Chain A
Amino acid sequence: MKLIIFAGPPTCGKTTVIRQVIKRILTKNLKPSFIKIDVLFADEDETIAKDFGIPTRKIYSGELCPDHCNVVVLDEAVEWAEKQGSDFLFVETAGLCLRCSPYVENSLGIVVLESTSGMNLPRKIGPMLTLADIAVITKIDLISQAEREVFRYRVLEAAKEITVVESNALYGIGIDPIVRKIIDSKEVELPMFLRGNPPVGTCTICVGKKEIGAKNHFGVLRTMDQDLFYVGE
């Protein structure tokens, strides 16, 4: 089975791209399944199951950071998809803090970026872009061609080896090259490992400490003027 992980800022068009990909994968008589990892609300699993009749799941990360949630549940997700007899598992995640990236070794990592987000977006989102295999640039019908070229340049400046695909996913334009890459990707291997280095330290805020100020926290900390230091065992 092949594992395809889609990440990207909220409302960038991830689901629209995934729906077009699923439609094309199904016409080739291949079997996809779909998992959505989100924080508070998601209904993509229901609409995709209804529209395409494929196995779907959703996982709410709730109190956990969604990237963290992805790391701790992905092995079970892969087992689930294999039990469904899937050829492909598509995972859609809401990467939020921009310090992690959800991609694992021997999977295909696809970042979805909205062309209207401004020229600095590729410089702002770190490993979610730099560790991906494909950058899909969506909503290209909303900007000028000159801006498309400059945006693409900014993407390649941040991630030199990445394959850039420009797409107007509503009309399914630019989807075929993504499908080809997905079909040619490697089989997932267990145990899985994250591609990138996670950010330093355990986050006390993630586990629920609300007090403001470094003195109230442990792990890797900093103050206004002092660089990173470590407090704890």
Chain B
Amino acid sequence: MGDIISIVGPTGCGKTTLINDIELFATKNTPSERTILINDEPVPEDFTFDPSKHPIALISQHTNFLSDLPVGDFLRIHAKVRGADNVDTIIEETLDFANQLTGESINRLTGMTELSGGQTRSLLIADAVIIGNSPIILLDEIENAGIHRTKALELLKKYDKIFVFVTHDSRIALLSDFRIIMKNGSMEKMIITGPEERRAAMELKKIDDVMLEFRRLIRAGEEITDEIFNSQIKNLAYSN
């Protein structure tokens, strides 16, 4: 069974610091002086020395690659480092996953540095899930990445992993199994998503889908007439 966890809180409250500490297995050696334990135990040293044994993948807010390599070559090396047998199938699967998250599709020959922010994020998520096959994946503000986030949540739920989202997105927060509320750099509170919140999440999904539809129409060069507006708003079929 996988878990989806959100970390929420105002800007500057220490959300990114927390996931960076988790990824680095901080032992009082980061600015927060936090210590990270796994099941109450100190973390084995080879987790930190050998990146291929590292159980955590962090998808940070950086949306640029710096590698001067084509996507296919990069994924091939990464799959090799991670000891994959069927490198070609795994590259195919990774690109397929990434292309479901992004509007502009990525191919093997595209240079890593030519990818847009959304493409980069999509590829990083796909790489962490499929090539890295990391049991724990930390995602920092996925909603800002120009990727299809509902689709991402749907796809990610199929894999038995722990996903930790740093998020300002109410839907991602409410679709999580639980959320951690940060305040002044520390974990203040934890809320387990109950049935009422799950219902609220379903309602918010409708609003979100309508917003996404407006975005799609505007991007496609459509004019938002009264007719279109009313029909979209009717989709919400709002009743309290």
Contacts and interface: CB of A to CB of B under 8 A. Distances in A.
Interface of A: 115-116, 118-120, 141-154, 166, 171-173, 176-177
A144 B66 CA distance: 9
Contacts of B60: 144
A149 B30 contact: no
A147 B120 CA distance: 12
Given A146-B124, A149-B81, A152-B51, A118 B31 contact: no
B95 interface: no
A148 B124 CA distance: 12
Given A171-B31, A173-B24, A149 B68 contact: no
Interface stretch (B72-80, B170-178, B217-225): B72-80
A177 B50 CA distance: 13
A173 B77 CA distance: 26
Interface of B: 20, 23-24, 29-31, 49, 51-52, 54, 57-60, 62, 65-69, 74, 77-78, 80-82, 124, 127-128, 131-132
B66 A116 contact: yes
> Looking at chain A's contact residues, is the secondary structure mostly helix, strand, loop, or mixed?
helix
Contact of B81 (A142, A153, A177): A153
Given A119-B74, A147-B66, A150-B69, 13 more contacts: A118-B66, A142-B66, A143-B65, A145-B51, A145-B128, A146-B128, A146-B131, A149-B52, A149-B81, A151-B67, A154-B77, A172-B29, A173-B24
B132 A146 contact: yes
A141 B131 CA distance: 21
Nearest to B134: A145
25 contacts: A116-B66, A118-B66, A118-B67, A144-B60, A144-B62, A144-B65, A145-B23, A145-B51, A145-B57, A145-B58, A145-B128, A146-B131, A146-B132, A147-B65, A147-B67, A149-B51, A149-B78, A149-B81, A150-B78, A153-B77, A154-B77, A171-B30, A173-B24, A173-B30, A177-B49
A232 to B, nearest CB: 40
A172 B23 CA distance: 15
A157 B1 CA distance: 38
Contacts of B77: 150, 153-154
A185 B47 CA distance: 24
A68 to B, nearest CB: 31
A150 B81 contact: yes
A118 B127 CA distance: 19
Contacts of A151: 67
A228 to B, nearest CB: 30
A172 B20 CA distance: 14
Contacts of A166: 51
A146 B133 CA distance: 12
Contacts of B66: 115-116, 118, 142-143, 147
Contacts of B49: 177
B57 to A, nearest CB: 6
